[in-house]
């Protein structure tokens, strides 16, 4: 099955700087790569996603890049703000065995200091 | 759009009792819903995949007789934790799928078993 590794586990950045989180996946059949932001005690929120027919996607301060050959994808946050502080999860899928399962990375705790 | 509700948000129950958690897609029909468990500072652990009108598919190591899942309609799935024990205390989150891969999460249910 799919295996997703996510790095780093924690990331501290100063307000205004950029943050980059990287994920690798193992299943070459995966074709959907979402990123979720989860604040403490809250639900994971889909912030951006990318499909395998696209190499890069941008939405304001957030961008995701995908390298299918190397099987890795990254989240880029520019001009970070304190409200960007949260845990970010990458995911890959869907699983080919059934029903669109996603495999999640372990998460990255991002702390933006003013 | 893509709003998922979950009820209750918090529940405290005594050891040996059963607890039912509801997951609803409010503004879309979800053919597939997923149930996750999340421990503090950890990633989302998929418990089972729920499809309307059919039996749920459980992940390895998840006891299907303990975690009963019913997907009665395209907008409602329920998870019943039977004979709960303190080790079942956790944050349970459901998600609903609009299209294959894309998942939107409910707000979660904090279960505490005393």
Per-residue pLDDT tens digits for B19-49: 999 999 999 998 799 999 999 889 999 999 9
Residue A48 has pLDDT above 80, yes or no: yes
Mean pLDDT of A39-53: 92
Residue A99 has pLDDT above 80, yes or no: no
More reliable by pLDDT, B44 or A2: B44
Position of tokens 């349970």?
B92
Whether the CB-CB separation of B7 and B22 falls below 8 Å is answered with yes
Residue A96 has pLDDT above 70, yes or no: no
User: Distance (Å, rounded) from C-alpha B23 to C-alpha B107?
Assistant: 9
pLDDT of residue B102: 84
pLDDT of residue A97: 58
Residue A98 has pLDDT above 60, yes or no: no
Determine, for residues A42 and B49 on separate chains, whether the beta-carbon distance falls below 8 Å: no
B103 in contact with chain A, both atoms CB, cutoff 8 A: yes
pLDDT 10s digits, B45-78? 999 999 888 889 999 999 999 999 998 888 999 9
Kindly give, in sequence order, each residue whose CB lies less than 8 Å from that of residue B2, ignoring residues fewer than 6 positions away. Answer: B27, B28, B98, B104
pLDDT of residue B105: 95
Q: State the nearest Cα–Cα gap between B82 and chain A, in angstroms.
A: 24
pLDDT of residue A1: 79
How many CB pairs (< 8 A) connect A and B?
A: 60
Kindly give, in sequence order, each residue whose CB lies less than 8 Å from that of residue A98, ignoring residues fewer than 6 positions away. Answer: B49, B57
Q: What residues of chain A, 40 to 69, have a C-beta less than 8 Å from chain B?
A: 41-46, 49
Set of chain B residues whose Cβ sits within 8 Å of the Cβ of A99 = 32, 49, 51, 57, 97, 100
User: Distance (Å, rounded) from C-alpha B81 to C-alpha B88?
Assistant: 8
User: Distance (Å, rounded) from C-alpha B55 to C-alpha B64?
Assistant: 10
For A86, which residue in chain B has the nearest alpha carbon?
A: B41
Mean pLDDT of A81-86: 97
pLDDT 10s digits, A4-25? 999 999 999 999 999 999 999 9
Mean pLDDT of chain A: 93
């Amino acid at each position: 099955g799919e295996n997703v590794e996510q790095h780093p586990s924690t990331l501290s950045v100063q307000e205004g700087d950029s943050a980059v989180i990287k994920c690798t996946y193992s299943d070459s059949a995966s074709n959907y790569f979402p990123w979720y932001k989860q604040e403490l005690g809250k639900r994971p929120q889909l912030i951006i996603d990318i499909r395998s027919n696209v190499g890069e996607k941008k939405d304001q301060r957030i961008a995701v890049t995908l390298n299918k050959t190397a099987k890795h994808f990254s989240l880029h946050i520019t001009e970070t703000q304190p409200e960007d502080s949260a845990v970010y999860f990458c995911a890959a899928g869907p699983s080919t065995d059934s029903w669109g399962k996603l495999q999640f990375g372990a998460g990255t705790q991002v702390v933006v200091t003013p | 759009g893509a709003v998922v509700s979950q009820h209750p948000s918090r529940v405290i129950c005594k050891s040996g009792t059963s607890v039912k958690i509801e997951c609803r897609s409010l503004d879309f029909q979800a053919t597939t819903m997923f149930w996750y468990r999340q421990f503090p500072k950890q990633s989302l652990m998929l418990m089972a995949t729920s499809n309307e009108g059919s039996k749920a598919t459980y992940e390895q190591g998840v006891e299907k007789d303990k975690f009963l899942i019913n997907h009665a309609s395209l907008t409602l799935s329920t998870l019943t934790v039977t004979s709960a024990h303190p080790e079942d205390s956790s944050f349970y989150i459901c998600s609903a799928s609009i299209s294959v891969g894309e998942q939107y999460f409910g707000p979660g249910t904090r279960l505490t078993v005393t």
